[in-house]
């Protein structure tokens, strides 16, 4: 024994207590003894902790050893307890041992004290070791049960169907509820039977066997797409990850198949492919539509004596609703048009083509007001059914007398820049084509001199540059250094060169009087 043995001694006779301590010391037991003789003092010393042995007289005035033993066993079950008493009958000795005392020694035979103490300490150590082992075993059992439960929960929580079979492909284990959800079977309907039950045909069953499941050596797992059959008879597309089950030494002990229903995914993939094909076809159609629309716009600038004319159209999408046009109505008389169909994209482009064709058909032999009346009459059914309208600036330019006769159908984005830099707005203005109301188209006229410039543009320019709205002077000021109509168009179109896509179609037409 090493170290100091801390003893709590319940004894009311100081001489007996000294004799006990001397006996222990003679046998080489280095000890620290706390002697108490009453219940309160005994409990207080016991609760201080650190005691390794309790010695107790059997009978004390007001407090007996059996009561002390009961207190010790309740609070410290493994603490060694030895009775050291002057008298102790056989029945009392047996009762004390049954109640948990480790041993008893008569004061008249203290030669037995040290062996009794050693035995008590040894038994206490053994009990402590046994208790520790039992606690560790219980903890290990709990961990095993918890791991088993966690594994079972994990196994059953996986949405893929996991089928474990032996070498003969007989099902040993399968997870629920995935099996029920995917195949419609209960576990008891599959375990112990051939996994062939899950395959839609022999071809898939033989393929997985040939690749993985019928081979007895360790092989790399493989993913395959096969057809499987539900309990109801419905065949579905599945993805199976087939691999060998191995023991801790890497020796194959069976097979594992992880089956996933991919029928919805394949439907989604097919729908996506179809959607992509439709999108591609639409893109092709839009390219063709853009080419057709571009061909509808004039391909060359008009050769009007005394005038320099240029225009450009930038659709916000591949096709748009803006357009410009010019046409020689008769010798010396030219029509100039800039229109904007409400909206953008394919619908606006289709209406644009209709509007252009209608205007061209009525402008040959009519003044502007009459031409617009006839055009609107022809367009109203289409504009009404599409719930759309058209803003339009239409003018007839007499190149001989340099007079422009025009009608503004709700457009408004037009001004005349005089040679000296002054800006004139063009009035009057009316309602767009397709908007019900008073429909007497009122003509306006303006004379142009050398250096004067007519500027027409669509609201897409203002959408791209809101700071220029209703400020023709700012736009006119940008044209000071331009020497030709083409340069002026380029200056105005250049205002829309932003990082973001165009919010709307942008069209500019410039007619400059050169003398």
Note the residue count of the chain: 515
User: Percentage of the chain with pLDDT > 90?
Assistant: 41
Task: Please compute the mean of the pLDDT values over residues 441-470 and round it to a whole number.
Answer: 88
For the chain, the 3-state helix, strand and coil shares in percent, each to the nearest 5, are 40, 25, 30
Using the predicted structure, report yes or no on whether residue 474 has a pLDDT greater than 90: no
User: Other CB atoms closer than 10 Å to residue 426's CB: what's the count?
Assistant: 22
Using the predicted structure, report yes or no on whether residue 285 has a pLDDT greater than 90: no
Burial of 489 (0-12, 13-18, 19+ CB in 10 A): buried
Using the predicted structure, report yes or no on whether residue 286 has a pLDDT greater than 70: no
Residue 85: closest CA among 100, 64, 62: 64
Residue 391: closest CA among 459, 296, 298: 459
Cα separation, 168 vs 189, whole angstroms: 18
Using the predicted structure, report yes or no on whether residue 239 has a pLDDT greater than 60: yes
Location of structure tokens 């603490």:
79
If DSSP codes are grouped into helix, strand and coil, which group holds residue 232? coil
What tokens does 512 get? Answer: 């400059």
Q: What is the pLDDT of residues 352-379, one digit of tens each?
A: 888 888 898 888 889 999 999 999 888 8
Contact indicator for 23, 9 with CB cutoff of 8 Å: no
- 297-513 folds as Phosphatase 2c; domain 1 (3.60.40)
Q: What is the pLDDT of residue 155?
A: 65
The kind and range of the H/E element at 154 are helix 113-157
Cα separation, 226 vs 200, whole angstroms: 8
Sheet of strand 103-106, all strands in order from the earlier edge strand to the far edge = 31-36, 5-10, 53-56, 81-85, 103-106
Residue 473: pLDDT band (50, 70, 90) is confident
Query: Which sequence spans correspond to the domains of the chain?
Result: 5-131, 158-261, 266-293, 297-513
CA 221-225-230 angle, to 5 degrees, is 110
Residue 344: pLDDT band (50, 70, 90) is low
Residue 232: closest CA among 284, 300, 180: 180
Higher model confidence: residue 124 or residue 195? 195
Q: What is the pLDDT of residue 391?
A: 92
Q: What is the pLDDT of residue 186?
A: 94
If DSSP codes are grouped into helix, strand and coil, which group holds residue 94? helix
Task: Please compute the mean of the pLDDT values over residues 206-219 and round it to a whole number.
Answer: 92
Residue 285: HSE in the Cβ half-sphere, 13 Å Cα cutoff: 9
- 158-261 folds as Beta-Lactamase (3.30.450)
- 5-131 folds as Rossmann fold (3.40.50)
Q: What is the pLDDT of residue 59?
A: 82
Q: What is the pLDDT of residue 469?
A: 65
Q: What is the pLDDT of residue 139?
A: 85
When mean pLDDT is compared across 130-144, 164-178, 206-220, 471-485, the lowest value belongs to 130-144
User: Percentage of the chain with pLDDT > 70?
Assistant: 94
């Amino acid at each position: 024994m090493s170290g100091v043995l801390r003893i709590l001694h319940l004894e009311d006779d100081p001489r007996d207590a000294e004799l006990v301590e001397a006996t222990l010391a003679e046998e080489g037991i280095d000890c620290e003894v706390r002697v108490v003789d009453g219940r309160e003092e005994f409990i207080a010393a016991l609760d201080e902790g650190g005691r390794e042995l309790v010695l107790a007289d059997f009978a004390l005035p007001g407090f007996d050893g059996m009561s002390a033993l009961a207190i010790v066993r309740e609070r410290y079950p493994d603490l060694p307890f030895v009775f050291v008493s002057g008298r102790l009958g056989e029945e009392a000795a047996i009762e004390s041992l049954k109640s948990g005392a480790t041993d008893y020694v008569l004061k008249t035979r203290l030669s037995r004290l040290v062996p009794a103490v050693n035995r008590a300490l040894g038994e206490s150590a053994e009990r402590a070791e046994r208790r520790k082992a039992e606690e560790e075993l219980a903890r290990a059992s709990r961990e095993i049960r918890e791991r088993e439960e966690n594994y079972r929960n994990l196994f059953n929580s996986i949405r893929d169907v996991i089928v474990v079979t032996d070498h003969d492909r007989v099902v040993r284990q399968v997870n629920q509820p995935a099996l029920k959800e995917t195949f419609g079977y209960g576990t008891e309907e599959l375990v112990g039977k051939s996994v062939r039950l899950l395959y839609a045909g022999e071809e898939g069953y033989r393929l997985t066997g040939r690749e993985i499941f019928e081979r007895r050596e360790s092989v790399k797992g493989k993913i395959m797409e096969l057809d499987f059959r539900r309990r109801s008879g419905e065949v579905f597309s599945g993805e199976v990850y087939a691999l060998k089950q191995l023991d801790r030494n890497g020796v194959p002990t069976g097979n594992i198949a992880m089956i996933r229903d991919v029928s919805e995914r394949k439907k989604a993939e097919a729908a996506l492919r179809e959607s992509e094909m439709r999108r591609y076809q639409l893109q092709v159609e839009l390219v063709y539509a853009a080419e057709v629309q571009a061909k509808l716009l004039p391909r060359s600038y008009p050769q009007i004596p005394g005038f320099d004319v240029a225009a450009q159209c930038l659709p916000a999408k591949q096709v748009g609703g803006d357009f410009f046009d010019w046409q020689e109505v008769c010798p010396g008389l030219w029509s100039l048009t800039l229109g904007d169909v409400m909206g953008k994209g394919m619908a606006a482009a289709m209406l644009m083509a209709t509007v252009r064709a209608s205007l061209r058909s009525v402008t040959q032999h009519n003044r502007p007001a009459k031409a617009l009346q006839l055009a609107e009459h022809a367009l109203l059914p289409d504009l009404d059914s599409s719930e759309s309208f058209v803003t339009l600036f239409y003018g007839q330019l007499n190149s001989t007398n340099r007079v422009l006769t025009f009608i503004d159908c709700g457009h408004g984005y037009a001004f005349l820049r005089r040679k000296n830099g002054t800006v004139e707005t063009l009035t009057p203005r009316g309602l767009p084509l397709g908007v019900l109301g008073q429909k007497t188209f009122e003509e306006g006229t303006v004379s142009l001199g050398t250096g004067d410039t007519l500027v027409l543009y669509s609201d897409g320019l203002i959408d791209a540059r809101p700071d220029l709205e209703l400020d023709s002077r700012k736009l006119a000021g940008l044209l000071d250094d331009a020497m030709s109509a083409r340069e002026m168009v380029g200056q105005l179109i250049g205002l829309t060169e932003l990082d973001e896509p165009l919010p709307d179609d942008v069209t500019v037409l410039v007619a400059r009087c050169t003398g």
